């Protein structure tokens, strides 16, 4: 559909009255005669095309004004500083009618502080279709202390896999072996360092090389999930009742010694800890030859985009779960992986839930609009009904609205220009999946909040330099790191978390 026809689409979608809104599952009508502005906060990048993004929001608000008598004000946390911006948004006490929530956004910590509204009694009334969409076990996963504080997403994706994204055309140029593990990664980066002076071997920010690779190279599962796969504690899924300190596992020291060697060989800039660029973008724009911070399956489209924007270039991925295929497993994603919540003091929770119900369950065209954008601008449709972004430049790729809030795979459109290896890699990931023994478990950090904050500070101040190879003597720095963690109270925190895990597993076994 060309841009001139967008208004026709909008007109066709305006079918509900602004006087009442029917909750289809129960036939209940609600008075929506009062206009409402909903504030939405998401983790997402700034619009690729600001003008088109503004136009999209205007068009979307026209639809929502007619259907629910609501308009939306959108705020977002973008870039690598998204975690701090998100924390500030919640700490400030601002009212958001819908806000991104997830385990990696410290959901448990914020829930424990009362940041989110209890939706237990509201969802069945104001979002009855959403209520029916998920099973009882799925709703139980998002409960904290018996209260539903968020809405999960309806869609199956394997657990997000971190991956090494690299220029396959350069690997072929220098006749290098296929990437199969640490040795071939190092050989590739060393070859780039020696032969491509205009390219950085890699360009990831802060401690991402460690963050993306360490856990997938081991048998462990992160317990206190935080941004970018860092952690203080892990479990062995075969012995989940014992909580382990991540940096005290036997695999940790040899791993960071390898990273010291890679740092000394110049595989990333010495300014890595102050870098705020996403390494994948550095690969896409020709600044770097590789990134340790790629993700699969969600970002496999970037391989297609790189080849489209740069004829002759080719990208490939090495999944870090292949580093240790005998032990590494892919934990099935929890409902806590991606959710949407309402802040405790929000003014319009009822209308917000009605909005979620409308977009997620009732209106296929509206769902696809917020998921994919404008046909003819952000994508085209193939004759067999697939979504095609071939020929769409990166600045026109859709990212104007957090459509993932309303994910429902019943309305999903299959992509036409899927990366050639997507299904092959997807099958590999699914073959390694195991059930999450802690599905539904939520850490309560509050009893050890002061100590937990202290060990996080130690990990950032003393652990990160070790993990990027910026210390002179790894053994000395490592022993100092462990001592500082001890002084900060890491054993008290570990024991508290282990008690919580065992209480959860006891209750689960008693069911």
* Predicted confidence pLDDT, tens digits, the chain (511 residues): 334 344 444 544 544 444 456 554 555 688 999 999 999 999 888 898 999 999 999 999 999 999 999 999 999 887 667 878 888 888 888 899 999 998 778 888 888 889 999 999 999 999 999 999 988 878 988 888 889 999 998 765 656 788 999 999 999 999 999 999 999 999 999 999 999 999 999 999 889 899 999 999 999 999 987 667 889 999 999 999 999 999 999 999 999 999 999 999 999 999 999 888 889 999 999 999 999 999 888 788 889 889 988 999 999 999 998 998 776 667 777 777 789 999 999 999 999 999 999 999 999 999 999 999 999 999 999 998 989 888 888 889 899 998 888 989 889 888 887 888 988 888 888 888 877 888 778 888 889 999 999 999 999 999 999 999 999 999 999 999 999 999 999 999 999 999 999 999 998 888 6
- For 93-195, strand residue ranges (E) read 98-101, 143-144, 147-148, 151-152, 161-167
Name 317's bridge partners: 165
pTM of the model: 0.70
Distance CA 451, CA 369 (A): 46
Kindly list the structural domains of the chain, giving each domain's residue range(s) and its CATH number in brackets, ordered by start. Answer: 3-155+336-411 (3.40.190.10)
Distance CA 36, CA 481 (A): 52
Residue whose pair of structure tokens reads 């910590």 in the numeric block: 109
Closest CA to 68 of 116, 104, 110, 33: 33
Name 42's bridge partners: 76
Distance CA 421, CA 427 (A): 10
């Amino acid at each position: 559909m060309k841009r001139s026809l967008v208004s026709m689409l909008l007109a066709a979608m305006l079918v509900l009255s602004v006087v009442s809104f029917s909750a289809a599952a129960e036939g209940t009508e609600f008075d929506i005669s009062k206009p409402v502005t909903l504030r939405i906060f998401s983790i997402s990048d700034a619009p690729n095309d600001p003008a088109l993004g503004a136009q999209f929001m205007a068009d979307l608000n026209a639809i929502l004004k007619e259907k629910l008598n609501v308009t939306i004000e959108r705020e977002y946390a973008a870039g690598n500083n998204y975690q701090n911006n998100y924390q500030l948004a919640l700490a400030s006490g601002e009212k958001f009618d819908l806000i991104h929530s997830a385990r990696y956004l410290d959901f448990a910590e914020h829930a424990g502080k009362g940041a989110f509204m209890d939706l237990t009694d509201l969802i069945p009334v104001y979002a009855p279709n959403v209520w029916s969409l998920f099973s009882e076990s799925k709703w139980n996963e998002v409960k904290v202390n018996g209260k539903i504080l968020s809405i999960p997403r309806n869609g199956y994706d394997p657990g997000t896999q971190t991956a090494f994204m690299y220029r396959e055309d350069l690997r072929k140029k220098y006749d290098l072996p296929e990437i199969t593990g640490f040795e071939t990664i190092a050989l590739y980066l060393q070859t780039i360092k020696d032969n491509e002076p205009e390219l950085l071997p890699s360009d990831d920010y802060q401690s991402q090389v460690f963050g993306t690779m360490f856990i997938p190279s081991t048998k462990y599962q992160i317990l206190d999930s935080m941004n970018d796969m860092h952690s203080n504690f892990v479990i062995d899924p075969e012995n989940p009742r014992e909580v382990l300190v991540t940096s005290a596992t036997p695999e940790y020291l040899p791993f960071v010694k390898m990273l010291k060697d890679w740092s000394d060989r110049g595989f990333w800039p010495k300014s890595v800890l102050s870098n705020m660029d996403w390494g994948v973008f550095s690969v896409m724009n020709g600044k770097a030859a590789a990134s340790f911070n790629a993700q699969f399956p969600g970002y496999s489209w970037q391989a297609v985009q790189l080849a489209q924007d740069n004829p002759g270039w080719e990208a490939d991925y090495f999944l870090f779960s292949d580093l240790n295929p005998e032990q590494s497993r892919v934990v099935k994603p929890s409902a806590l992986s991606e959710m949407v919540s309402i802040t405790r003091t929000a003014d319009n929770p009822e209308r917000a839930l009605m909005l979620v119900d409308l977009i997620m369950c009732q209106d296929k065209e509206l769902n696809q609009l917020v998921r994919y954008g404008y046909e003819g601008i952000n994508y085209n449709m193939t004759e067999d009904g697939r979504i095609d972004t071939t020929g769409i430049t990166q600045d026109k790729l859709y990212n104007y609205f957090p459509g993932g809030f309303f994910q429902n795979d019943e309305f999903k459109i299959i992509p036409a220009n899927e990366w050639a290896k997507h299904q092959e890699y997807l099958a590999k990931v699914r073959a390694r999946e195991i059930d999450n023994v802690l599905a539904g478990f939520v850490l309560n950090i509050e009893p050890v909040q002061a100590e937990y904050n202290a060990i996080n500070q130690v990990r950032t101040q003393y652990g990160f330099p070790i993990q990027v190879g910026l210390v002179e003597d790894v053994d000395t720095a490592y022993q100092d790191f462990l001592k500082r963690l001890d002084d900060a109270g890491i054993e008290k925190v570990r024991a508290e978390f282990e008690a919580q895990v065992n209480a959860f597993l006891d209750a689960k076994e008693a069911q």
